[in-house]
A = this chain, B = another copy of it.
């Protein structure tokens, strides 16, 4: 390891998102990201495996937070309440970060490779949530279906939150989306 660089990780992430937004993801090199952050390529690779990872840095922590919140709800509560607690927990991470989320999403949507990576992260989240629900004693297929529903709410709630003119908080939109899903699939034969 080289010398200690204060906030290197955050500086690299900021520089990467700035460059991806300005020039496009494909057109940006790791050397340019490091240069913009006033750091070396070597430092970049001490923190991130590739150009892509810098955009998905928080996804492991997010998954852990979600799963832990699900696990902490008393077992007597129904699975959907545990998932809702998870959605509340992850929403707190994004407070004050809407502008960042909007810019990051624009970069991801513009690139097929990044969209794929996002889908893989969501599939991983769904699998981890299903595990957490089974640990609570939820049987299959309810565990997998509730986990998929939770990820659907996360995805749709997040997209609503970053839409233009949206002023509600992410937590509000997540809770509202749970309600909308229940209403949408709760009626009919």
Contact indicator A180/B120 (Cβ below 8 Å): no
Number of interface residues of A (CB under 8 A): 39
User: A77-B188, A120-B119, A123-B119 given as contacts; is B142 within 8 A of A183 (CB)?
Assistant: yes
A164 within 8 A of B: no
How far is it, in angstroms, between the C-alpha of A177 and the C-alpha of B185 when the chains are bound?
Answer: 12
Binds B, one of A18-26, A99-107, A147-155: A147-155
A residues contacting B by CB (< 8 A) are 77-81, 84, 115-116, 119-120, 123, 138, 140-142, 144-146, 148-149, 152-153, 155-157, 159-160, 177-178, 180-189
Contact indicator B80/A184 (Cβ below 8 Å): yes
Contact indicator A188/B80 (Cβ below 8 Å): yes
